[in-house]
Structure formats: C-alpha cells, structure tokens
Structure 1
Amino acid sequence: MRIAAWNVNSLKVRLPHVIRWLQDQEAKQQPIDALCLQELKLTDDKYPHQELEAAGYLSLAAGQKTYNGVAIIVRKAALASIASDAATSFLKPIRNIPANTDEQQRILAATIPFAGTKPIRLVSAYFPNGQSPDSDKFIYKLDWLSKLQTWLTEELQQNQRLALLGDFNIAPADADVHDPKAWEGQNLVSPPERNAFQELINLGFSDSFRMFEQAPKTFSWWDYRMMGFRRNAGMRIDHILLSEDLKEKCSASVVDKEPRTWEQPSDHAPVIATIQKT
C-alpha cells in the first residue's frame, strides 16, 4: 500500500491536479491508498467531498479560510469492508494538537482500517513556516513544535503503527538544501528547527526518505520565483516519518516531481511511502 503527503497550496485551485494525480497513479497500477493534504486554504463547508468521493475517495478535513487547512483522503477500495462510509473509515479523529488553543488548522489525525492489514494511525501535519529566526512567528513555530512532540509521545504510546506526513517546513540536513551556504542560519534550516526535527526522530520515528539510497539534490519544494524548479533550486521540507513498526514494513520512499511540471502547479511535489501489508 502507498501513503502520501502533498501541500497543494489551495485545494480550490489544485483540486483538478489532486484528482488527476490520484487517477494517474491508479492507471499505473500504483494507487495511493491514503493522501494527506496541507494548505487547503478553504473552510470545511467548501471542502470538495462530493468530487473526491465521485473519484473513489473519502475525506476528513480541517479547513480554515485563506490559510492553513489539512485533510486525509482515503481510497474507498483500500478500506476494510466494515468501513463503508466516512463515519466508519476515520476512527478516533483529532483536529489540532490538544494542548494548542489557537485556531490555526494544522493537524488532523485518524486511524484508518485498511483492508488486508492492521489499522494505521495517520497524522496530516502542516508545520508553521516561522518566517525568520528573529520573528514572533519563529517563536510560535518552536512552541508549536514542542507541543507537537509532547502530543506525539502520547500518540505513539497508544498507536504502534503511526505515520506523520506533511509539510514540516524544515530541511533536516544540508543534503536537503540546494545551496546550504546561502541558506545558513535562515528559517527552515536553523539549528533550533533541525533540533526539533531530530527530537521527533528520537521519539521513535524514522525519516522514510533517508531509509533508502536517493539521488542527490532530490527536493520536494521549489520557490515559484527565479525559475526555482527549472534550476532545481529547491529544498526537501515535505516528509513521511514512520513509527518503528511501520519502518520495518516500508519498502520505498520517493518524491514525485511530475505534478510540479503541470500548468499552475503547487510549489510542492507529493512524497510517497510504500508500506507492505501484514
């Protein structure tokens, strides 16, 4: 089975891309069983449940006007027979970090009863950007990361099969940055952010991408400006972290750059992990 994350940078704009990509994967006989979206930029009442269901997918969403927003999309054919609708497909849903009282919609978690395997707890996450290390937004980011770590500690105690997927807004190593020297000390690569990423790893997660040999300069985000994608001036800031149980079942982890080549694309590309059923 394959699970994925994609910051679509406005689902209203990118819905045709999402459906096209999902259908392309089906046509290649490599279907995406669950897709975690970030930056929906729309409210719950505007979420395209019907369009996605018509394409064969059920959804759970946590929307917000203009900013943020996360979703979990699951292929109906991948669900156990007992999960016949959205009410039974997404178990124990959590919207936002319980200890975080602000209204930014950045976390959505649910346990999915996939067919032919044990349920998997999925967390779709859109980490704060942080703006710059000397800003209030950066302070907010570090506080949010601390609360996330505390909450995930509890989640891992309750869920051995847990995947954290999304736009982390952190490039964990220089290998994940097109020009490390130019970015040194800046937002997304600063020591406090990278330390927070490592603290997530220390909880018992593994960076699925780094479990396998990868081509150098493989990124998941490219700035719209200065021909960033054409020059491959990007960063790897979209990640799939796997708990120990899922790590043992993971057989591949890749970035699919193709949607970034489409007309009016998101500035991010989907990231995908393959999990063997047990």
Structure 2
Amino acid sequence: MRIATWNVNSVNARLPTVLAWLEAAQPDVVGFQEIKCLDEKFPREAFESLGYNVETNGQKTYNGVALLSKHPLSDVRRGLPGVDASGFEAEFEQARYIEAVIEAPRPVRIGCIYLPNGNPIGTEKFAYKLAWMDRLQAHAKALLLQEEAFTLCGDYNVIPTPDDAKNPSAWVNDALFQPESRAAFRALNNLGLSEAGELGKQPLGTYTFWDYQAGAWQRDHGIRIDFHLLSPQAADRFVGIETHREARDMEKPSDHVPVVVELED
C-alpha cells in the first residue's frame, strides 16, 4: 500500500498538476493539506474518475484537509477531539485534521494533519500552534492504545533539527524552528512513533518545501516539514519512502512536494 501526503496549496488552483502527479505516481491513499476550499467546492468528481473515494474537512479560503483512497474509508473523524489545555474554544477551531480507516485487506488508519504555522512568535497564533500540538499528542496516545497500524501524516510546520534545513540560520526567528515547536515534535515521536524518513534512511538534504520567494527552489534552500509518523504496527509493515522532488518542477507547482510511504499489504 502506497500512502502519500501532500500540501497542495489550493487544490482547485493546482488541479491539473495534482491530477497529473496522481496518474503518474498511482498512490493507493493520499492525504492533502491546504485544500483551501469548502467541502462542496472540492473537485470530488475529478478524483473519483481516477478511482478514489473522497472525504474532506474543508474551510473557505484557508486550511482544509482531505483523504483519498482506492479502498473504502470508514470511521471518519473531522478535527481533533477535546479542547486544548490552553483553553482555546470552538471559535478558534480550524479545518486541520481528518482521519479514517482504509478498509484494505490489511486495514490501516490514516490521520492527515495540517499543523498550524504559528507565526509570528509571541502571538496568539504561536500559542494556538503549541496547544494544537498538545491535542495531537493526546490523540496519538489514545490511538496507540488501540494497537493498530496507523500513520499520522502531513505538513507538520516544524523543522525538527538543523539538518532539516539548507540554511538553518534563516529560520531562527520563525515559529517552525522554535525550541518549543521542536520539543513538541520530539514528544510526539517519543510516544513510540517512528518517523518514516528515519526508517528509510533518507539522506540529508531531502527537503519537502521550498518557498516561492527569493529563488529558494533554484538555490535548493529547502526545509523538511512533511512527515509520516508510524505506529509500531505500521512500522512493522514499512517497505520504503519516496520524496517526489520532481513535483516542485511541474507546471504551477505547490511549494511542497509529495512524500510517499509504502507499507506491506
């Protein structure tokens, strides 16, 4: 089973590019982030024509996530459970999480994540990022108790280590590279999840995002912020990982590229 995660940065604006990549790469399951549309505006028919079942958690203009699967989807959840520890109430809720069981012969649960950016530091946005990560950690703990194969995949908006940036000094004042963000990401991993890039021994410089500004792509000033975190049961089925750098060179590309994990059927 090939499972992709991809921040598409507006699914309608980049639909021909997204469809072309799907037809070439043929993933079985895809988690999209930043679809930037309401559920009813998602181009469902275009993906169904490629054989995918579709579930969305959309939001007008911003955010939004979706799951596509060539197998049936069940037990669909939209949004993380609970109110976070910092007391953020429903008015702060954003469409950043969707989860479902992929009903393959050997099922796997997929959580698709678009973690808050958190900039600028010292504002409510950074507090929301950290509070959202607390909620994600609590949900991951609950999922681990079920002892099933799952991946929490998506755009984590965290640069975990200096090795995950071509130019770490450029990010020292960014929410993605703050000690608090990095510690929260480590805490999530330390629950017993395996980061697929480490399992697959991906080389340094395997980036997943290049800004549109200042020639970042041309100079390879990238960062690695898109991840699959696998439960022990999913890690036991791990075959390999691919980062599809070529997608950044397609016509009208996203600033992220797809990351594909393969699990044994």
2:230 matched to which residue of 1? 242
Do structure 1's residue 203 and structure 2's residue 186 form an aligned pair? no
Do structure 1's residue 160 and structure 2's residue 160 form an aligned pair? no
What is the CA distance between 1:14 and its match in structure 2?
1.5
1:130 matched to which residue of 2? 118
Whether contact under 8 Å (2:17, 2:252) holds in the other structure is no
Whether contact under 8 Å (2:14, 2:253) holds in the other structure is yes
Aligned residues: 258
1:86 matched to which residue of 2? none
2:38 matched to which residue of 1? 43
What is the CA distance between 1:185 and its match in structure 2?
4.7
What is the CA distance between 1:56 and its match in structure 2?
1.4
Kindly provide the amino acid, as one letter, of the partner of residue 126 in structure 2: F
CA-to-partner distance for each residue in 1:63-102, whole Å, 9 max, x for gaps? Answer: 0000000000012xxx3xxxxxxxxx22111100121433
CA distance in 1, matches of 2:225, 2:166: 12
CA-to-partner distance for each residue in 1:120-157, whole Å, 9 max, x for gaps? Answer: 11001100000132222001100111111112211221
2:158 matched to which residue of 1? 170
Do structure 1's residue 95 and structure 2's residue 78 form an aligned pair? yes
2:50 matched to which residue of 1? 55
Q: Indicate the percent of aligned positions where both proteins have the same amino acid.
A: 38
Do structure 1's residue 142 and structure 2's residue 130 form an aligned pair? yes
Correspondent of 2:103 among 109, 113, 118:
113
Which stretches of structure 1, 4 residues or longer, exceed 4 Å deviation after superposition? Answer: none
Per the alignment, in what secondary structure is the counterpart of residue 163 of structure 2?
helix
Kindly provide the amino acid, as one letter, of the partner of residue 74 in structure 2: L
CA distance in 1, matches of 2:148, 2:52: 25
2:86 matched to which residue of 1? none
TM-score, scaled relative to structure 1: 0.90
Whether contact under 8 Å (1:222, 1:234) holds in the other structure is yes
CA distance in 1, matches of 2:77, 2:111: 9
What is the CA distance between 1:103 and its match in structure 2?
3.3
Give RMSD over aligned pairs.
1.2
CA distance in 2, matches of 1:42, 1:150: 28
2:205 matched to which residue of 1? 217
Do structure 1's residue 66 and structure 2's residue 61 form an aligned pair? yes
Per the alignment, in what secondary structure is the counterpart of residue 228 of structure 1?
coil
What is the CA distance between 1:186 and its match in structure 2?
2.8
CA distance in 2, matches of 1:91, 1:159: 18
What is the CA distance between 1:159 and its match in structure 2?
4.7
2:5 matched to which residue of 1? 5
1:151 matched to which residue of 2? 139
Structure 2's unaligned 5+ residue stretches are 84-89
TM-score, scaled relative to structure 2: 0.94
Per the alignment, in what secondary structure is the counterpart of residue 16 of structure 1?
helix
2:264 matched to which residue of 1? 276
Kindly provide the amino acid, as one letter, of the partner of residue 124 in structure 1: C
CA distance in 2, matches of 1:212, 1:90: 27
Kindly provide the amino acid, as one letter, of the partner of residue 51 in structure 1: A
